[in-house]
A and B are shown apart, each in its own frame.
Chain A
Amino acid sequence: MSGTLYHEALLEIYKHPLNKQVPSDFSIQHKEINSTCGDEVEIFIKLENDRVATIGWQGSGCAISQASASLTTDAVKGKTAAVIKTLTPESVLHLLGLPKLNPTRLRCALLALEALKKAL
């Protein structure tokens, strides 16, 4: 299972993250910490007409949690809070191109989604 964990595309996103900056203008901010391994993801959002107009993030952690922050924040651009709240763990794994993960690693993969849902 974990043989395909560190695939090219995921490593590429980890090394060259998307949206990894604090936007100059934001109204919502939320930080999540994964206490078992110390991963951190902090999300910054500006909503316009209830849609994500601007999104950025900061954080540190394992490749899975950080790649997930890039891809999850990218996927919700222009979406409404209501739609974001219905995002499932499976959809995040799909974004990451990852198979089923063990519970510990799943927490890494879903850290950004959790931060996002709590932010909104």
Chain B
Amino acid sequence: MQNIKKQFPIFSRPEAGSRYGGTNHPNMIYLDSAATTQTPSVVIDAMNDYYTKTRSNVHRGIYDLSEQATAAYEAARASIAKFLNAEREEIIFTSGTTHGLNLLAYSLTPKLSHRDNVVLTRLEHHANLVPWQQMAKHYGFTIRYIELTPEDELDLASAEKVIDANTKIVSFALVSNVLGTVAQAKKISEFAHARRALTIVDAAQAVAHLPIDVENLDCDFLVFSGHKLYGPTGIGVLYSKKALLEESLEPFFFGGDMIKSVSYTDATWAELPERFEAGTQNISGVIGLGAAVEWLASLGWDKIVAHEREMMAYALDKLKNEVTIIGPAIGHIHRVGVIAFTIPSIHPHDIAEILNQDNICIRVGFHCAEPLHRHLGAGPTARASFGVYTTKEDIDKLVKGIEKVKKIFA
């Protein structure tokens, strides 16, 4: 991952007279990739190509330009399918993880009743909690939570216990955006399928850091956002097993492009996956996301994982004497992407503000996981998160910044 920052224009030297006011940030220490990653030029170029060379609507024009745009759009879908080890028809574009989870919560729960339950976990992001809570109010099902082990990993014994014959859906984050722990997804899917429940994997925090193989995970659905794996904002993916798209899931949005035939009284649906993509889609977003997954795969998963493990181990080692780390800080537990932490008697907001003075970007607050923080007995926390471009130098600067914070508040 040497010199990879060079592929990211945001880290380049400022160009003279930027047209839109902003500037580039060669000295920025960006440690907020869990909130959103930066964008490599290949992704920007792919989107730029669409806007400058093939801009037209897809699946609609007979003319060459539209054919080219459609080809680029569908090539991106094929790349993403390959990236997940899925089939082309199983990839549905959304605006992001939140969209995907809401779509599933709305679509899968109307048949549930007060006898049924949906199983989540203690560590879910609000996006995988609030939609289910709201649907529970409508349909009366209960929500159960898989507990954490003392090391803050998902407790499989608890999973086995809470998933029962009345469980219809099990939805969980593959990687926690606060603890960085990785769910044993295959095991959880096994418990769920033994009870004939559907499984949903929220891969938002996993997809940039671990290779994803939907067949191996054996999940029924998987959702993620493009902007967390070096792709554009406003685009995401809902993967669904083909049989479920054909038999269990009804279209959620209705309109253009998702129909086969329409009369004044009714309509029939288009084939998969178009049936689930009503209206003009985020075409440049799809093309950019396709470029992002191609680019990420070209770096090589072995190298990405090795680099990020090295950075994580280095950061945990440097930080463990400086701050209180939330979640597992011991070597044998695989922690991915994020380190949330606190410093006794210094508010996280003040930590971030002082780090900001030295051009260090971290996130503070509840990271959209307020119940988890309360469950852990924690207030708001500070969070540093990593990407392929994170270096030991970045981490050293973070540690220096933290020393400065402590000095100011001493």
Contacts and interface: CB of A to CB of B under 8 A. Distances in A.
A3 interface: yes
A38 interface: yes
Interface stretch (A19-27, A45-53, A56-64, A87-95): A56-64
Contacts of A62: 347-350, 353
Contact of B380 (A5, A38, A63, A108): A38
B364 interface: yes
A61 B366 CA distance: 13
Given A37-B349, A38-B365, A62-B347, A6 B380 contact: no
Contacts of A37: 348-349, 364-365, 380
A11 B408 contact: yes
Contacts of B408: 6, 11
A86 interface: no
A66 to B, nearest CB: 8
A5 B354 CA distance: 9
B409 interface: yes
Nearest to B409: A11
A62 to B, nearest CB: 4
A91 to B, nearest CB: 22
B80 to A, nearest CB: 33
Contact of B349 (A3, A11, A61): A61
A16 interface: no
Nearest to B349: A62
A39 B350 CA distance: 12
Contact of B357 (A2, A36, A61, A108): A2
B224 to A, nearest CB: 25
Contacts of B354: 6
Contacts of B255: none
B353 A105 contact: yes
Contacts of B85: none
B308 to A, nearest CB: 28
Contacts of A6: 350, 353-354, 408-409
A36 B350 CA distance: 14
Nearest to A60: B379
B134 interface: no
A5 B349 CA distance: 13
> How many residues of B sit at the interface, in one of the four size bands?
10 to 19
Contacts of A3: 357
Interface in B363-410: 364-366, 379-380, 408-409
B351 to A, nearest CB: 9
A6 B380 CA distance: 20
A21 B353 CA distance: 28
Contacts of B350: 6, 62-64
B356 interface: yes
Contacts of B409: 6, 11, 63
Contact of A38 (B353, B356, B357, B366): B366
Contact of B353 (A2, A36, A61): A2
Contacts of A63: 347, 350, 409
Nearest to A105: B353
Interface string A102-113: 000100100000
A62 B364 CA distance: 11
Nearest to B354: A6
A13 B350 CA distance: 15
B345 to A, nearest CB: 9
Contacts of B348: 37, 62
B375 to A, nearest CB: 15
Contacts of A39: 347, 349
A108 B349 contact: yes
Nearest to A5: B353
B94 to A, nearest CB: 26
B11 to A, nearest CB: 22
Contacts of A36: 365
Given A37-B364, A39-B349, 8 more contacts: A11-B409, A38-B379, A38-B380, A60-B347, A62-B349, A63-B347, A64-B349, A105-B353
Interface of A: 2-3, 5-6, 11, 36-39, 60-64, 66, 105, 108
- Top 3 closest pairs, chain A to chain B, by CB: A62-B349, A62-B347, A38-B380
24 contacts: A2-B357, A5-B353, A6-B350, A6-B353, A6-B408, A11-B408, A11-B409, A37-B348, A37-B349, A37-B364, A37-B365, A37-B380, A38-B366, A39-B349, A60-B379, A61-B347, A61-B349, A62-B347, A62-B348, A62-B350, A63-B350, A64-B350, A105-B353, A108-B349
